[in-house]
Homo-oligomer: A and B are copies of this chain.
Amino acid sequence: MPNPTAAILIIGDEILSGRTRDANMYLLAGELTRIGIDLKEVRVISDDRNAIVTTVRALSDAYDHVFTSGGIGPTHDDITADCVAEAFGRSIGVRDDARALLGAHYEARGVEFNEARMRMARIPEGATLIENPVSIAPGFSLENTHVMAGVPNVFAAMVASILPTLTGGKPLLSQTYRINRPESTVAEPLGILAQKYPALSMGSYPFANNGAFGTNIVIRGQDGAKVDAAILELAALFPAHENG
Protein backbone atom coordinates (compact mmCIF):
# COMPACT_ATOMS: atom_id res chain seq x y z
CA MET A 1 0.00 0.00 0.00
CA PRO A 2 1.45 3.38 -0.88
CA ASN A 3 2.16 5.84 1.92
CA PRO A 4 -0.37 8.54 2.78
CA THR A 5 0.36 11.87 1.07
CA ALA A 6 0.40 15.37 2.50
CA ALA A 7 0.74 19.06 1.71
CA ILE A 8 1.75 21.96 3.94
CA LEU A 9 0.04 25.34 3.54
CA ILE A 10 1.84 28.29 5.14
CA ILE A 11 -0.33 31.38 5.47
CA GLY A 12 1.28 34.73 6.11
CA ASP A 13 2.22 38.03 4.45
CA GLU A 14 5.29 38.22 6.72
CA ILE A 15 6.83 35.19 4.96
CA LEU A 16 6.08 36.49 1.45
CA SER A 17 7.50 39.94 2.23
CA GLY A 18 10.76 38.40 3.43
CA ARG A 19 10.34 39.83 6.93
CA THR A 20 10.19 36.42 8.60
CA ARG A 21 12.07 33.29 7.66
CA ASP A 22 9.74 30.31 7.83
CA ALA A 23 10.82 27.54 10.20
CA ASN A 24 7.72 25.35 10.18
CA MET A 25 8.10 23.72 6.76
CA TYR A 26 11.51 22.30 7.62
CA LEU A 27 10.35 20.99 11.01
CA LEU A 28 7.20 19.28 9.73
CA ALA A 29 8.86 17.93 6.55
CA GLY A 30 11.33 15.98 8.68
CA GLU A 31 8.64 14.69 11.05
CA LEU A 32 6.42 13.48 8.19
CA THR A 33 9.31 11.60 6.57
CA ARG A 34 10.05 9.95 9.91
CA ILE A 35 6.52 8.50 10.23
CA GLY A 36 6.06 7.56 6.58
CA ILE A 37 3.73 10.29 5.31
CA ASP A 38 4.96 11.54 1.91
CA LEU A 39 5.08 15.33 1.71
CA LYS A 40 4.26 16.14 -1.93
CA GLU A 41 3.86 19.90 -1.98
CA VAL A 42 4.23 23.06 0.10
CA ARG A 43 2.51 26.35 -0.67
CA VAL A 44 2.99 29.75 0.92
CA ILE A 45 0.15 32.24 0.38
CA SER A 46 -0.90 35.60 1.81
CA ASP A 47 -3.56 36.38 4.45
CA ASP A 48 -6.18 36.66 1.70
CA ARG A 49 -9.61 35.09 2.12
CA ASN A 50 -10.04 33.93 -1.47
CA ALA A 51 -6.50 32.54 -1.70
CA ILE A 52 -6.92 30.57 1.53
CA VAL A 53 -10.35 29.09 0.68
CA THR A 54 -9.31 28.12 -2.86
CA THR A 55 -5.98 26.62 -1.80
CA VAL A 56 -7.42 24.62 1.13
CA ARG A 57 -9.97 23.09 -1.24
CA ALA A 58 -7.36 22.27 -3.91
CA LEU A 59 -4.88 20.69 -1.50
CA SER A 60 -7.46 18.78 0.56
CA ASP A 61 -8.83 17.27 -2.66
CA ALA A 62 -5.37 16.31 -3.92
CA TYR A 63 -3.72 14.85 -0.79
CA ASP A 64 -4.58 12.65 2.21
CA HIS A 65 -3.58 15.33 4.73
CA VAL A 66 -3.18 19.11 4.69
CA PHE A 67 -1.30 20.89 7.48
CA THR A 68 -1.72 24.66 7.76
CA SER A 69 0.49 27.12 9.63
CA GLY A 70 -0.50 30.66 10.60
CA GLY A 71 -3.47 32.97 10.93
CA ILE A 72 -5.25 31.58 14.02
CA GLY A 73 -4.36 34.29 16.57
CA PRO A 74 -6.52 37.07 18.06
CA THR A 75 -6.02 39.85 15.50
CA HIS A 76 -8.13 41.14 12.59
CA ASP A 77 -5.86 39.47 10.02
CA ASP A 78 -6.18 36.02 11.64
CA ILE A 79 -8.77 34.63 9.23
CA THR A 80 -7.58 31.05 8.71
CA ALA A 81 -10.25 29.36 10.89
CA ASP A 82 -13.09 31.19 9.12
CA CYS A 83 -11.60 30.38 5.70
CA VAL A 84 -11.16 26.67 6.48
CA ALA A 85 -14.79 26.52 7.68
CA GLU A 86 -15.86 28.15 4.41
CA ALA A 87 -13.70 25.80 2.33
CA PHE A 88 -15.59 22.82 3.79
CA GLY A 89 -19.02 24.53 3.87
CA ARG A 90 -19.21 24.50 7.69
CA SER A 91 -20.46 27.10 10.15
CA ILE A 92 -18.07 28.57 12.73
CA GLY A 93 -18.59 30.01 16.20
CA VAL A 94 -17.17 30.16 19.71
CA ARG A 95 -17.12 26.61 21.04
CA ASP A 96 -17.71 25.81 24.71
CA ASP A 97 -14.72 23.52 25.28
CA ALA A 98 -12.29 25.92 23.59
CA ARG A 99 -13.76 28.87 25.55
CA ALA A 100 -13.41 26.91 28.81
CA LEU A 101 -9.73 26.11 28.10
CA LEU A 102 -8.93 29.76 27.35
CA GLY A 103 -11.10 31.11 30.21
CA ALA A 104 -9.32 28.97 32.81
CA HIS A 105 -5.94 29.99 31.38
CA TYR A 106 -6.67 33.74 31.51
CA GLU A 107 -8.36 33.53 34.92
CA ALA A 108 -5.30 31.81 36.41
CA ARG A 109 -3.13 34.64 35.07
CA GLY A 110 -5.53 37.44 36.10
CA VAL A 111 -5.97 38.56 32.48
CA GLU A 112 -9.27 39.81 31.05
CA PHE A 113 -10.93 37.38 28.62
CA ASN A 114 -11.69 40.09 26.04
CA GLU A 115 -13.32 39.90 22.62
CA ALA A 116 -10.03 39.50 20.75
CA ARG A 117 -9.05 36.56 22.97
CA MET A 118 -12.52 35.06 22.44
CA ARG A 119 -11.77 34.93 18.68
CA MET A 120 -9.32 32.14 19.44
CA ALA A 121 -12.22 29.95 20.68
CA ARG A 122 -13.93 30.14 17.27
CA ILE A 123 -13.88 26.59 15.88
CA PRO A 124 -15.66 25.24 12.78
CA GLU A 125 -18.61 22.88 13.29
CA GLY A 126 -17.49 19.26 13.50
CA ALA A 127 -13.79 19.93 14.07
CA THR A 128 -11.55 18.16 16.60
CA LEU A 129 -9.30 20.34 18.78
CA ILE A 130 -5.49 20.11 18.58
CA GLU A 131 -3.90 20.62 21.97
CA ASN A 132 -1.59 23.61 22.49
CA PRO A 133 0.43 23.14 25.68
CA VAL A 134 2.43 26.34 25.03
CA SER A 135 -0.22 29.08 24.87
CA ILE A 136 -3.48 27.09 25.24
CA ALA A 137 -5.42 28.53 22.25
CA PRO A 138 -6.11 25.30 20.34
CA GLY A 139 -5.67 24.33 16.71
CA PHE A 140 -8.17 22.00 15.08
CA SER A 141 -8.58 19.23 12.52
CA LEU A 142 -11.51 19.45 10.10
CA GLU A 143 -11.88 16.51 7.71
CA ASN A 144 -8.31 15.96 6.42
CA THR A 145 -7.04 19.48 7.24
CA HIS A 146 -5.05 20.22 10.40
CA VAL A 147 -4.99 23.91 11.32
CA MET A 148 -2.08 25.08 13.48
CA ALA A 149 -0.45 28.29 14.70
CA GLY A 150 2.40 30.02 12.87
CA VAL A 151 4.57 30.91 15.89
CA PRO A 152 7.28 28.22 15.62
CA ASN A 153 7.28 26.89 19.20
CA VAL A 154 3.47 26.70 19.23
CA PHE A 155 3.46 25.06 15.79
CA ALA A 156 6.00 22.49 16.99
CA ALA A 157 3.90 21.71 20.08
CA MET A 158 0.77 21.23 17.95
CA VAL A 159 2.67 18.97 15.53
CA ALA A 160 3.73 16.86 18.53
CA SER A 161 0.04 16.69 19.58
CA ILE A 162 -1.39 15.70 16.20
CA LEU A 163 1.20 13.38 14.60
CA PRO A 164 0.72 10.41 16.98
CA THR A 165 -2.99 10.38 16.01
CA LEU A 166 -2.24 9.89 12.30
CA THR A 167 -1.57 6.61 10.54
CA GLY A 168 1.78 6.68 8.80
CA GLY A 169 3.18 4.33 6.20
CA LYS A 170 6.58 2.80 5.68
CA PRO A 171 9.17 5.38 6.66
CA LEU A 172 11.57 6.48 3.95
CA LEU A 173 15.04 5.12 4.71
CA SER A 174 18.06 7.00 3.51
CA GLN A 175 21.82 6.60 3.43
CA THR A 176 24.39 9.17 2.43
CA TYR A 177 27.74 8.47 0.73
CA ARG A 178 30.29 11.24 0.49
CA ILE A 179 32.46 11.44 -2.62
CA ASN A 180 35.33 13.91 -2.88
CA ARG A 181 34.75 14.54 -6.57
CA PRO A 182 32.68 17.22 -8.28
CA GLU A 183 29.04 16.43 -9.08
CA SER A 184 29.70 16.52 -12.82
CA THR A 185 32.18 13.61 -12.45
CA VAL A 186 29.72 11.55 -10.43
CA ALA A 187 26.68 12.27 -12.61
CA GLU A 188 27.12 9.60 -15.33
CA PRO A 189 27.77 6.54 -13.11
CA LEU A 190 25.00 7.73 -10.77
CA GLY A 191 22.52 7.94 -13.64
CA ILE A 192 23.30 4.33 -14.63
CA LEU A 193 22.89 3.19 -11.01
CA ALA A 194 19.56 5.04 -10.75
CA GLN A 195 18.23 3.20 -13.82
CA LYS A 196 19.18 -0.12 -12.20
CA TYR A 197 17.18 0.71 -9.02
CA PRO A 198 13.94 2.35 -10.20
CA ALA A 199 12.31 1.99 -6.74
CA LEU A 200 14.99 4.13 -5.10
CA SER A 201 15.50 7.86 -5.38
CA MET A 202 19.09 9.06 -5.72
CA GLY A 203 19.89 12.67 -5.08
CA SER A 204 23.25 14.37 -5.44
CA TYR A 205 24.14 17.42 -3.38
CA PRO A 206 27.33 19.23 -4.35
CA PHE A 207 29.45 20.98 -1.75
CA ALA A 208 32.63 23.03 -1.71
CA ASN A 209 35.10 22.65 1.12
CA ASN A 210 38.23 24.83 1.22
CA GLY A 211 38.07 25.18 -2.55
CA ALA A 212 37.73 21.44 -3.24
CA PHE A 213 34.47 20.21 -4.76
CA GLY A 214 32.65 17.15 -3.47
CA THR A 215 29.23 15.51 -3.70
CA ASN A 216 27.01 13.87 -1.13
CA ILE A 217 24.88 11.14 -2.68
CA VAL A 218 21.66 10.40 -0.80
CA ILE A 219 19.86 7.17 -1.69
CA ARG A 220 16.30 6.88 -0.37
CA GLY A 221 13.71 4.13 -0.44
CA GLN A 222 11.34 2.06 1.65
CA ASP A 223 13.30 -1.19 1.14
CA GLY A 224 16.35 -1.06 3.40
CA ALA A 225 18.09 -4.02 1.69
CA LYS A 226 17.84 -2.30 -1.70
CA VAL A 227 19.21 0.95 -0.25
CA ASP A 228 22.14 -1.01 1.24
CA ALA A 229 22.85 -2.79 -2.06
CA ALA A 230 22.84 0.46 -4.03
CA ILE A 231 25.15 2.19 -1.55
CA LEU A 232 27.60 -0.76 -1.80
CA GLU A 233 27.61 -0.51 -5.61
CA LEU A 234 28.21 3.23 -5.37
CA ALA A 235 31.06 2.70 -2.89
CA ALA A 236 32.66 0.18 -5.31
CA LEU A 237 32.52 2.80 -8.09
CA PHE A 238 34.06 5.49 -5.87
CA PRO A 239 36.15 3.65 -3.24
CA ALA A 240 36.74 5.47 0.01
CA HIS A 241 40.55 5.07 -0.25
CA GLU A 242 40.53 7.07 -3.51
CA ASN A 243 38.24 9.44 -1.81
CA GLY A 244 40.43 11.68 0.25
Could you list which residues of chain A lie within 8 angstroms of chain B, going by C-beta atoms?
13-22, 25-33, 39-46, 51, 73-77, 111, 114-117, 119-120, 151, 172, 174, 182-188, 190-191, 194-195, 201-206, 218, 220
Contacts and interface: CB of A to CB of B under 8 A. Distances in A.
Copies of this chain, count: 2
Find the residue from A27, A29, A117 having the highest chain B CB count within 10 A: A29
A115 B76 contact: no
A172 B17 CA distance: 9
The binding surface of chain A is classed by DSSP as: mixed
Contacts of A31: 18
A172 to B, nearest CB: 7
B117 A194 contact: no
Contacts of A14: 203, 205, 218
Which 10 A-B pairs give the minimum distances between C-beta atoms? A18-B30, A116-B187, A18-B29, A76-B191, A42-B44, A74-B187, A74-B184, A21-B26, A117-B184, A75-B187
B40 A188 contact: no
Given A18-B33, A19-B203, 18 more contacts: A13-B220, A15-B29, A17-B39, A17-B174, A18-B28, A19-B30, A41-B44, A41-B45, A41-B46, A43-B43, A73-B187, A74-B187, A76-B195, A111-B182, A114-B185, A115-B188, A116-B184, A117-B187
B20 A205 contact: yes
Find the residue from A30, A42, A75, A77 having the highest chain B CB count within 10 A: A75
